[in-house]
Amino acid sequence: MSDNVNESSAKGSSNSSAAADNAITVQVQTTPNPSALKFILNRLVKTEGKATFTSPDQCRDIRLAADLFELPGVAQLHFFENFITVTFSDELEPDRVEASVAAVIRSRMPVHNPDFQPAGHKPKPQVELSPELQKIEEIFNRTVRPGLQSDGGDIEVVSLNGHVLTVNYQGACGTCPSSIMGTLDAIRSILSAEFDPDIDVQIAYQ
């Protein structure tokens, strides 16, 4: 009798441990953008690359993203590695967004495929970039992107025409006043020192 009890207890303990290992944890981090929150998970939401969505039409086949857009006030989603940055309407308080977003993430992550690719997405291989753009990407990867990504955002190079570089802010950086002002000045300074003294950087408004 005691052997059966002990065996049952051991199985129960093993099942509880397995359930704990599979549990989805979500940590919420504020960003420099008062209208964006960064939700950090204990598993990947995007295996390769990144994805930014500004409307439900862009992600109807991605259940996690589509369901997040159904929440009132959600304006933009940014998926990268193990976090999702959610940008919401200015009139909403972060506390009102935090709980509902975390609940959707926990309920949809078990069926989420982190290998997804956005519709129509065709990443340009690094080898196809011009030497100038490859150099800019290398500089950004080393100096700019780590800080932006830690704040729930990122930057995309759109084009280089002469001395004018056009970029697109993503995630929390997309609507952040500090990105539009201070961060852009810092990027100009870095590129002026490491790439082209006459470089000008502008934002691609979509």
**What does the pLDDT read at residue 3?**
54
Query: Residues 151, 38: contact at Cβ < 8 Å?
Result: yes
Sequence-ordered alpha helix ranges (H) in the chain: 2-22, 63-69, 94-108, 131-139, 145-150, 177-178, 184-194
Q: For the chain, what are the domain ranges?
A: 22-111, 126-203
* 15 phi, psi to nearest 5 deg: -65, -40
Q: What is the mean pLDDT of residues 136-160?
A: 91
Give the domain 126-203 fold. GMP Synthetase; Chain A, domain 3 (3.30.300)
- Per the model's pLDDT, the better-predicted residue between 30 and 11 turns out to be 30
**How many CB atoms neighbour CB 99 within 10 A?**
10
- Per the model's pLDDT, the better-predicted residue between 28 and 14 turns out to be 28
Residue range 22-111 forms a domain whose CATH class is: alpha beta
**What does the pLDDT read at residue 18?**
45
> Pairing between strand 200-203 and 164-171?
parallel
pLDDT band at 125 (very low <50, low <70, confident <90, very high): low
The proportion of the chain whose per-residue pLDDT surpasses 90, expressed as a percent, equals 59
Token code pair at residue 117: 């690719």
Mean pLDDT of the residues in the chain: 85
Query: Residues 107, 113: contact at Cβ < 8 Å?
Result: no
Each residue's pLDDT tens digit, 69-84: 999 999 999 999 999 9
pLDDT band at 151 (very low <50, low <70, confident <90, very high): confident
Sign of the dihedral defined by the CA atoms of residues 165, 48, 45, 69, in that order = positive
